[in-house]
Structure 1
Amino acid sequence: MTTPDDEFRFLSTDARSVGVAGDLPPVERVSLILDDGRTLSALRFGDTPPVATFIHGAGLNAHTWDSTILALGLPALAIDLPGHGDSSWRSDAAYTAASLAPDVATGIRAWTSTPQLVIGHSLGGLTGAALAASVPELVTQLIIIDITPGIDPNAGAAQIRAFFAGPTDWSSRDELVDRALAFGLGGGTREKAERGVYLNSRVREDGRVEWKHHFAHLASALAAAPELAAQLDAQQDALSEILSATGWNDIAAVTAPLSLVRGEQGFVTTEDAAEFSRRRPDAVVVALPTGHNVHEEAPTALAQTITELRSVEQR
């Protein structure tokens, strides 16, 4: 039984949207305290230990995977990356794959009992590659969704950047839903926008509503200091070259079976996919007719793809 303030209030609707009938699997919020005092949080689906771990992209949270996990039907773990969802923000704002992978590894060790099929989207995909390269004993198979090294995992349409560069708090979630719809965001309907806003925001002690993820607050701060943003852009260009090389090194070091699932209208172009295949000719590359957020646009098709890729590796 859910209540209006329950974070799992949308699961029944999510299940119906992917054709899942009957009782829902048990889902619980789990958390732990990291060695430096930060909190790492996650969602655990099913009544048996997880066999699949999901890592979301920048500006999202563990609930972005709800429909895909329900359609997949496997016991699963969906982690809130640091700076997102119910996990603590990083004081150094270091949201790179190399910085995030150790925390993901800690979560897998704490909340699972066997090596995992790891599915990562965008920034989560690069984090999954860093994880598989650095602690291969935790990863049985890696599926990367719509990202390759050299592509900015924080990129997006201009309206998304402008949307997050606005105010950092609001008087109500309804106000934030109105803003999302005005920017052409939120999935096209008020119901979908309400789900996204609810799961990606929180009400502070003063009653104001703010985004859970750190990126919106960083974007707002940069929008208020354009001279700083210009300096950071120049630094980011140099950093991107380094991170691209590091990302390809991670991809090369992955020993687990490797797949890339790209959205045909997403971030990964056919040329990017070809480069991925050139560097990893053993990897499977699949294209689905979606944009960047494959798991939100086509959760049933993605779940079927994951099932097929997993079945091939289990033969």
Structure 2
Amino acid sequence: MTDEFQFLPAQAADLGVAAPPVRRLTHPLPDGRTVSALAYGDAPPVATFLHGAGLNAHTWDTTILALGLPALAIDLPGHGDSSWRTDAAYTGPVLADDIAAAVAEWTSGPQVLVGQSLGGLAAAALAARHPELVRELVVVDITPGIDPSGDASQIRAFFAGPTDWASREELVERALSFRLGGSPEAAARGVFLNSRVREDGRVEWKHHFAHLANAAAGDPAIAAAASAQQDAVRDVLSAAGWDDLAAVTAPITLIRGDRGFVTPADAEEFSRRLPAASVVEVASGHNVQEEQPVDLGRRIAALAP
């Protein structure tokens, strides 16, 4: 068992289940980049998971253990072990185009497709463009065009620190100082799985977002331009995101945390636009998969074939 899987036995023991076999997969893209993922179990996956910005496939570990079924968790481009995009175009439709062939390769039937935050927008785009890949769509704490002001600002500030660190312990201390990561043990696990040690011994985040946030924080002009660009992109993607959801032929469920990014007004707008979709509220913040992994896993299991 490689180092990245060292936490799974304890996580499984806490749930009273056996840890499944897990292996890492790699899919080459035509431009030389790669998409990476984790496959849980020996059988073909029945559920595929897409994480949010600044996270990686391991954010789903406990949820998939609670699910108890073969599953696939993808590192979105720019995250985990997947290649970064030189154009930094990390939007739902672009990410969906990057991962579509990989999902087709690694699955043998329509999936319960679960996406949280940025991954939810990518999941909607994937389901709209490739209905043959999707049995059910589960969108976790995101709707098109929401303005996640407070929490998102905190996360941007967290990642806008130095691009490299002397040790992972420094990153854990930073996460806890921002009230991120949960317990010290959970924060240490999250930092280990979301960082890497360079050849010079310094530690850096695996995902591209930290480096982009750092560049923006160091140059007010870059920050202002990035903010204006984000506003413009949000306006465009708001319409595109609703169009994607409207085009999805599979059943749709929105799971929102009562302390997450999706407000009651956002959920009401979701139901107005998609009256056939289900909306479920759980006691959680934005990262439902980390705050309520067992409940989320069981809800997804109920949708699986």
Q: TM-score range by the shorter chain?
A: over 0.9
Structure 1 Cα separation of the partners of residues 88 and 256 of structure 2: 28
Q: CA deviation at 1:238?
A: 2.0
Q: CA deviation at 1:191?
A: 1.1
Structure 1 Cα separation of the partners of residues 271 and 87 of structure 2: 34
Partner of 2:97: 102
Q: TM-score, normalised by structure 2?
A: 0.96
Q: Mapping of 1:257-268 within 5 angstroms?
A: 257-268=251-262
Is 2:62 the partner of 1:42? no
Q: CA deviation at 1:192?
A: 1.1
Is 2:200 the partner of 1:203? no
| Cα-to-partner distance string for 1:254-312 (whole Å, 9 max, x where unaligned) | 0011110110110111111111111111111110011111110011111122233x16x
Q: Share of identical aligned residues, percent?
A: 65
Query: What is the SS of the residue equivalent to 2:80?
Result: coil
Q: In the alignment, which of 90, 96, 111 is matched to residue 85 of structure 2? A: 90
Q: Mapping of 1:25-174 within 5 angstroms?
A: 25-152=20-147, 156-174=151-169
Structure 2 Cα separation of the partners of residues 54 and 44 of structure 1: 10
CA RMSD of aligned residues (A): 1.5
Q: CA deviation at 1:181?
A: 1.9
Is 2:222 the partner of 1:251? no
Q: CA deviation at 1:241?
A: 0.9
For residues 152 and 78 of structure 1, do their structure 2 counterparts lie closer, same or farther at Cα, with a shift above 3 Å needed? farther
Figure out how many residues of one structure are paired with residues of the other and give that number.
305
Structure 2 Cα separation of the partners of residues 11 and 153 of structure 1: 31
Is 2:297 the partner of 1:303? yes
Structure 1 residues without counterparts, runs of 5 or longer:
none
Query: What is the SS of the residue equivalent to 1:82?
Result: coil
Partner of 1:224: 218
Q: TM-score, normalised by structure 1?
A: 0.93
**Runs of at least 4 residues of structure 1 off by over 3 A?**
152-155
Structure 2 Cα separation of the partners of residues 232 and 160 of structure 1: 16
| Cα-to-partner distance string for 1:208-233 (whole Å, 9 max, x where unaligned) | 11000000000000001112211221
Q: In the alignment, which of 277, 280, 285 is matched to residue 283 of structure 1? A: 277
Q: CA deviation at 1:201?
A: 0.2
Partner of 2:16: 20
For residues 56 and 237 of structure 1, do their structure 2 counterparts lie closer, same or farther at Cα, with a shift above 3 Å needed? same
Q: Is the 8 A contact 1:147 1:153 kept in 2?
A: no
Structure 2 residues without counterparts, runs of 5 or longer:
none
Query: What is the SS of the residue equivalent to 1:117?
Result: strand
Q: Is the 8 A contact 2:254 2:279 kept in 1?
A: yes
